[in-house]
Chains A and B, each alone.
Chain A
Amino acid sequence: KAGVTQTPRYLIKTRGQQVTLSCSPISGHRSVSWYQQTPGQGLQFLFEYFSETQRNKGNFPGRFSGRQFSNSRSEMNVSTLELGDSALYLCASSLGDRDGNEQFFGPGTRLTVL
């Protein structure tokens, strides 16, 4: 089975721009979660989608949004980029239908905001 894929792997944007990141989960996985990883803050949970519905949401401003499509692929959008948005954005997929389901992570998208 192919793993979780994220595109693009690297992005450079300037302040004020917007960006869309994409995540393709493992086949059969219906849950997709997004995390922001920075050296000082560790992994910060953004949101989780399950069967096209947002199931959980972290404490991020409304500039961060996401969606999930019927094939479970997910996109994350960040509008009006700020310097502090520079981070590694990780996507994780899971079957999502049982308590002990683990998450499988993609390699991440490295976003740099100038």
Chain B
Amino acid sequence: AQSVTQLGSHVSVSEGALVLLRCNYSSSVPPYLFWYVQYPNQGLQLLLKYTTGATLVKGINGFEAEFKKSETSFHLTKPSAHMSDAAEYFCAVRKGIGNQFYFGTGTSLTVIP
């Protein structure tokens, strides 16, 4: 079975500082990887995804993530945090068509002014 681990349920950064949210997955085959963001009282919104090709993936709002197969990781980064980035972030993995999505437990990002 797939599993996704997000290290750090709460992360705080200062405005303008680097954002790094960690995600590791377990999979016997290269999976499809996703990052979602959830703002209060809303559903989840896709930030970016990795399917095939370039391992560095750029998403919306200045976020990017790098797929590292050797480390089974898909960490999310943003060079400079903005107050509007405060939200819950979820990493998800899917093995392939016909398989369900597996979500991590989420990381709550706080941005300190």
Residues of A within 8 A of B (CB): 4, 33, 35, 41-43, 45, 48, 55-56, 58, 90, 92, 96-108
Contact = CB atoms under 8 A, between A and B. Distances in A.
Given A4-B43, A33-B101, A103-B34, 8 more contacts: A42-B90, A45-B100, A45-B101, A48-B100, A92-B43, A105-B36, A105-B44, A108-B42
B97 interface: yes
B53 to A, nearest CB: 10
B80 interface: no
A25 B39 CA distance: 20
Nearest to A97: B97
Interface residues of B, number: 25
A101 B49 CA distance: 9
A56 B100 contact: yes
Contact of A102 (B41, B49, B90, B103): B49
B46 interface: yes
Given A105-B45, A107-B42, A99 B101 contact: no
A95 to B, nearest CB: 10
B96 to A, nearest CB: 5
